[in-house]
Each structure stands twice: as C-alpha cells, then as structure tokens.
Structure 1
Amino acid sequence: MVEYKLLNKDRYSRARLGKLQTRRGVIDTPIFMPVGTNATVKGIWQHQLEEMGAQIILGNAFHLYLKPGLEVMREFGGLHAFMNWEKPILTDSGGFQVFSIKDKKVTDEGVLFRSPIDGSKIMMTPELSMEIQMTLGSDIAMAFDECVAPGMSREYAEESVTRTTEWAKRCISYHDRSQALFGIVQGAFYKDLRKKSAAEITSMDFDGFAIGGLSVGEPFQVTKEILEYTVDLLPEDKPRYLMGIGSPDLIVTAVENGIDMFDCVLPTRIGRHGTALTWNGKINLKAAKFKYSKDPIDEECRCRVCQTYSRGYIQHLFSRDEMLGKILVSYHNIHFLLKFTERIREALATDSFKEFKEECYNRGLIKEALISES
C-alpha cells in the first residue's frame, strides 16, 4: 500500500532523501507530520495546512474511537470525508495514549482501562485497534504496541517486547490490508531488547517500521544513543518513522540517523502558550519586552502570520487572552517546522546536509555541530 523510493544518501551520515508513494499521493521524505489528534490540527483550518505545504497529517485511533465514535465515522465514510482532508493521513494505534493512562491493567489480551469521557470500561486489543483504524480509513495504520515508561524494570521491558511482538502478529492477522500497516519496534533503553524486537517485528509483513518508546521523558543523549543503534536494525527499502519528535534538534538527529517520518504536537502546544520557533531559536511572545515591537515573529519567515502581524500585536493578544494569539503562533510554528524539514530535503538533494547542520548549530537550533562519517 506504500512504496519507498530512495533518491539520495548523505556522505557523512545515514540521512537519506526519498519519496513515499501512497494511495493519496506522493510524500517527500524526510517529512514532518502535523498532529490532528481529534480530526483537527488545533487552531488550524485544513486549507491552511495545505497552503503551508503539509503533505500528511496524523489522527489518533484512541481519541476518535471515544469521540465521535465508529458509528459516526462509518456514516461519514471515514476520517478524510469527515474532516474534509484529501491528502494522506497516518493514524496512531492508541498505544501511546493507553500508556499515558495511569489506572490501567495490561495483559496479554490487551489493555483494560476506563474511558476518560464517561468512565466505562474499555478493553483495547490489537484487533480493536485495527478495526478502528480500518474504519477511519487512514492511509497508514500503526500496529498496536506497548510503550513502557522510563525507569521500568528490565524484566518488565523484556515481557513488553514479547507482548508487542505477539500483538503485532495479531494486528497482521486481523488487518484487511485496505491501508498500509507499520510495525513498531520497542525495547525501552536496552540495546539487546531493541535488537530482539527489531528482529521479530521486521520479520513480519509490514509496509514500514517505526521506532517507539523514545522521547518519552528520557535525556537527549539516551534518545540519540538508542536511535543510532536501532535504525541500523531496520531495512533500508522501507520507510522509517520516529514517533513523537518535533523540536529542531531532535528532527536533525532523527534525519542524520536515517529517519524518514516524524510527528509531534509541539508546534501547536507551545504555540498556545506563546512560544514561537524561529531560525534563531525559541522566543516567548508573551514577554513584555515585545510590547512595542513592530517586527514579525521571524524576519526570515514567509508565512502568512509573519507577513501580516507584529510581535507587539501578538503580545497584546496574549495579554488579553485572545484566542487569535494562540492561533497565529500555532500557525507560524507548524509553518516553521514544515519549512525547516523542506530545507533539510533541499540540503540532502544538493549534498549539503553537513553544512546545514553546522548552520543550525551556529544559530543555536541544535546542540551538536559535527557529523562523523559513518
């Protein structure tokens, strides 16, 4: 259901330029995917996502199962028609959301928890996750996995890898292949467990592979170390997806380690609190120092917000708790990450990714300057 085509490889790292063919069009990789958990990227219209250059967005099986529910999705003919979005959609299996719920019971059958909406008991199983995602009709579905918390014992992490493998088998068995299906490699922060999980998951008939269980609160260096180790365990001829990352430093780290796809709620989450991403680092637009500023959020940005509104105006909106301020900064932040990733693709196409990374380091966007030859 998807086909990955490699176009170019960086000389100094694992970074790669490619295209991902889906049933709803071609996606240029590496690609940042805005998150539309509840069938909406918070504060952003669908046509605005298109004008910013979004090629694929995310929806979440867990939340859309709770509301509006599968009956509504069936009535509308799936998520694309429901939210009026014609480009590709990837749906999260709900595994991370289940992991985030404190009061739950994990068994080999699935995860038992109470609905955060009405308190009813729900048993989320691999089969139910597949049923939800098939009903949503996303272009890429994710296998249901168990994401363990940082600090979990090795013994539990080992049990979790086995459980994730068995759940992956059940996902493949139940899934009707009406959409692409990606498997997820787990293993916490143990390299031998990552190796075991990768060997088992990549042996199955998945269309692509994700690295799960990272960027869940661990230090940056731990993320980097486990990512570097795990990527080499994945096949080169299929797309690679690192779940839940969206800061410039993590994006560059992911790309230089051969990741093709990544997503995060970061641009809209920090945007709602007044923090803007710029080519010279983050700025807090709620700060009083911007009260008289006529400058745009970022002088290098060509987004609609930066071409129209000043820092002073946006600071005023936040000082009066006007929703427009949250919308404007969210729009800018998504645009910034889409353009940031576009710049990465341009660098990979012209064999200048090393220079791009050094530029990002000099601007304070990332923490490490040099790429060591692989």
Structure 2
Amino acid sequence: MAALSFQLQHNDTGSKARAGLITTDHGQIETPIFMPVGTVGSVKAVSQQLLNSDVKAQIILGNTYHLYLRPGLEVLEKAGGLHRFNGWHKPILTDSGGYQVFSLAGTRKIKEEGVTFQSHIDGSKHLFTPEGVMDIQRTIGGDIIMAFDECPPGGSEYSYARKSLELTHRWLDRCVERFNSTPDKYGYTQNLFPIVQGAMYKDLRKQSCEYIASKNATGNAIGGLSVGEPEPVMYEICDWCCDHLPAEKPRYLMGVGTPWNILECIGMGIDMFDCVMPTRNGRNAMLFTTRGVINIDNKKWEFDYSPIDEGLDSEISNYYSKAYLRHLLKSKEILGLTIASTHNLAFYLWLVKQAREHIIAGDFESWKNNIIPVLKQRL
C-alpha cells in the first residue's frame, strides 16, 4: 500500500485556485473538496447510502475525542477500524480532538505532557498526549490523521500565541516520532498532517508554516481560523499561510465555513475544507441553495410546492417540496432533519465541484465573483 499522493492538475489563470487529485488506499479525492463532518462516526441525520448517492461525498471526517469516549477503542479495534464499523469504504480523515479538548475550558488543564480533561458524557478524567492521540487515531483507522495541537482563541495576546505555538511545535515533534515508530494497523497506509497555528500574527504563522513544511508530511493543515476573528482577518491569514506552505502538498483549512468563505479560500489555494455548518444549519431550517439562502421556517414557503432546489443533481433536493420540508421541520419530524441536512451537503459538494470545473476552464475568478452575491441572497 502507498502513502497519500497529490497530483496538481490545473492552476487558475486569474487566482491561486488549483484543481488536484489526492490518492489514498481507500480511493481518490478530486480537489477542491468539502468533507462532511461525521463526529461520532456518522454524519448527523445522513446515512452512508445518502452520502454516496445524493451528497456524492468523497471523504468524511471522524473525531478522535468523541470516538475515544464512545464507542471506545476496544469496539473500534475489534470491528477492524472505523471504515468497517460504520460501513464507509471511501477515505476518512480523523481530527485529533484538540479543538474539542480545548473547548472544554472549564475542565481541561494544559501542560507539557499533554492535556487533562473531563468527559462531557460522565465527568470522568482523561489525559491526551501527542503520543496517545497518535495511538488512538491509529486504532480509529483514518486515512488522514491530524497532529495534536493547541488551538488558541482568535483574540489571543502575542505572548500567549507564541508560547502556544512553541508548545504545538514540540507536540508535533512527538507526534511525528510516535507516528513514524508505529505501524499502520489495518493493512492500509495512514498519513499524518501537521497543523499551522499562530493566531492572527503573521510572523508566527510564517514560522509555523516553515516548521511544518520541514516535516515533509504528505499534506498540511491550517488551524485556528474561524474562531471569532473578523472575516477579512481570516482571509488575510489564510492567504498568507498559503503563500508559505508547499505548493506540491494538499492544503486543508480546518472548520471553514460558509459557501462564500469556501470559494474565497479556494481562490487563495486551499484544497480541502470541513465544517459542521451545512448539517447544523440544515437542522435549524437554514438551507443553502443555488439561488440563495432560505429560512424554510418562514411562512412564505407554506404553500410553495416547488422542489427544494432544481439546480442540484440531488434526488432529495428535487423530490421534496419546500412546503413539505417546512411542514416536517415545524412538526419536528426526524425525516425533516435528514432532508435538510442531505440537501445542504449536496449543495456544498456541488459548489466545490463547480469550482473545480471553473478552475479547469480557466475562469474561476470571474465565476466566483458572479456567484457569491447570488449565494448570499436571502430568499
């Protein structure tokens, strides 16, 4: 079995956007790509069959923190890893759990060894170390596993951001050492991605990009954005990081964001995205469509029997009407959550596919500038 490879196929003539092909032992991924978030081994309200047929997902995420706590490593290992446990046979990326652990501000304690925290489920105490997180992700079995890092708040003071970055880099060294000294667990190759940190400080971000690039990993990630900073600042830091990360490796922007965020960051050279927004917003009656944003709760949709979005190649988006979906969500019917979540994910995958096609055609920048105002419309 072979390590992840990245083939850069096309560069847009009017921006830094690019189209590529990632190859893993569980299949290929056409970039730019959006990755649905399957925190506990499932994308909320969406079956694996729908992820394949309607959403057309090429890779999904799992989360180390949540899967470690439940169902636990013994269950996953006896199943033969997450792919066999949840029946998803395409690539999987596992987040290290760092963001989840650090969001437990009231119960966690950071030290050189790692982070102690209390489970949100039963209050039990746990320790995550860089070595332990590598072992956990080996057992979960993701094709791409993430380094354990500290994600400082967006408004962090420079002194804290610098100390945090230095800790993240020391932890990265330990992650790399542990990763390189342990074998792949289930007969296919796993790949470690380091994470760029440095808060909103360009010198720290540059330092982090250079340090991470020196590890010569198969891909690199940018973390610590979309954590409360103004949108223009997010774009500025993302663009800066892309300029200082290797062009021959895939770049993954973690946890971002809206459809227009994704398009803007594609234009800066980002290849991979994930975010809970499409499913979370869908469960709360916000639909992203090819014509704009719909709050399906609004009374104006009560008698609208037209399909949710005829602009998508999605059976669910074309089969069910806006009026029916509104009725389901108003009635708190579980089917409504499935329809809304599946539709939003299908839209996100449609969007990155369109972006890829326009990169290849050479007119991505003009297409992006024309479509973003449409997508932002409130219908």
Fold similarity call, TM over 0.5: yes
Which residue matches 1:148?
152
Where 2:116 maps in the other structure, the secondary structure is strand
| 3-state SS of 2:317 partner | coil
Determine whether 1:29 maps to 2:31: yes
Equivalent residue, structure 2, for 1:94: 97
TM-fit CA distance, 1:205:
3.4
Equivalent position to 1:157, from 156, 161, 164: 161
Kept in 1, the 8 Å contact 2:147–2:194? The answer is yes
| Segment drifting more, 357-366 vs 257-266 | 357-366
Q: Work out whether residues 279 and 365 of structure 1, in 8 Å CA contact, stay in contact via their aligned partners in 2.
A: no
Which one of 39, 62, 65 corresponds to residue 62 of structure 1?
Answer: 65
Whether the 8 Å contact between 2:130 and 2:171 is mirrored in structure 1 is yes
Task: Tell me how far 1:303 sits from its aligned partner.
Answer: 1.4
**One-letter code aligned to 1:135:** T
Letter in 2 for 1:303: S
Residue 229 of structure 1 pairs with residue 206 of structure 2:
no
Aligned letter for 1:312? A
SS in 2 for 1:210: strand
Query: Distance in 2 between the 1:241 and 1:302 partners?
Result: 26
Q: Which residue of 1 aligns with 2:305?
A: 294
- Per the TM alignment, residue 324 of structure 1 is displaced from its structure 2 partner at its CA by 1.1
In the TM superposition, structure 1's runs of 4+ consecutive aligned residues that sit over 4 Å from their partners are: none
> Which residue of the other structure, out of 235, 245, 249, is the alignment partner of 1:238?
249
Residue 281 (structure 1) aligns with:
292
TM-superposed CA distance for 1:361, in Å, is 3.1
Structure 1 match to 2:14? 12
Could you state the TM-score of these two structures normalised by the residue count of structure 2? 0.94
The offset of 1:98, in angstroms, is 1.1
- Taking the aligned partners of 2:151 and 2:7, their CA distance within structure 1 comes to 29
Residue 223 of structure 2 is matched in structure 1 by 212
Tell which deviates more after alignment, 82-91 or 315-324.
315-324
Q: Is the 8 A contact 2:307 2:318 kept in 1?
A: yes
Aligned letter for 1:341?
V
The equivalent position to 2:128 in structure 1, one of 113, 124, 135, is 124
Aligned pair partner of 1:115 in 99, 104, 119: 119
Among 231, 255, 264, the residue aligned to 2:266 = 255
When structure 1 is superposed on structure 2, of 349-358 and 337-346 the one drifting more is 349-358
Paired with 1:140 and 1:319, the residues of 2 have a C-alpha distance of 39
1:241 maps to amino acid: Y
Q: Compute the RMSD of aligned alpha carbons.
A: 1.2
For 1:325, give the aligned amino acid.
G
SS in 2 for 1:363: helix
In the TM superposition, residue 355 of structure 1 has moved relative to its aligned partner by 2.5
What amino acid is the match of 1:333? N
Q: Which residue of 2 aligns with 1:358?
A: 369
Q: Secondary structure at the match of 1:4?
A: strand
Q: Report deviation, 1:360.
A: 0.9
5 Å-filtered alignment, 1:171-190, equals 171-175=175-179, 176=182, 178=184, 179-190=190-201
1:301-331 deviation line (CA, Å, top 9, x unaligned): 2312222111111111122111111111101
2:309 and 2:318 in contact (8 A); partners too: no
Does the alignment pair 1:331 with 2:342?
Answer: yes
Amino acid at match of 1:105: K
- 195 and 363 in structure 1: CA distance in 2 versus 1, 3 angstrom threshold: same
The count of corresponding residues between Structure 1 and Structure 2 is: 366
Residue aligning to 1:349 = 360
How is 1:39-78 mapped onto 2 (pairs within 5 angstroms)? Answer: 39-51=41-53, 52-78=55-81
Match of 1:191 in 2: 202
Match of residue 187 from structure 2: none
For 2:164, the aligned partner's letter is S
> Unaligned regions of 5+ residues in structure 2, if any?
185-189
Instruction: Give the match for residue 371 of structure 1.
Output: none
| Counterpart Cα distance in 2 of 1:225 and 1:63 | 32
Deviation at 1:299, TM superposition (A): 3.0
In the alignment, the residues of structure 2 paired with residue 364 and residue 35 of structure 1 have an alpha-carbon distance, to the nearest angstrom, of: 22
Percent identity over paired residues: 48
What's the offset of the Cα at 1:132? 0.7
CA contact (8 A) 2:308 2:318 kept: no
> Given the two structures, how large is their TM-score scaled by the length of structure 1?
0.96
Give the conservation status (yes or no) of the 8 Å contact 1:285–1:311.
Answer: yes
Contact persistence 2:226–2:257 (CA under 8 A): no
Paired with 1:299 and 1:199, the residues of 2 have a C-alpha distance of: 45
Cα deviation, residue 364, structure 1: 4.3
CA drift of 1:294 comes to 0.8
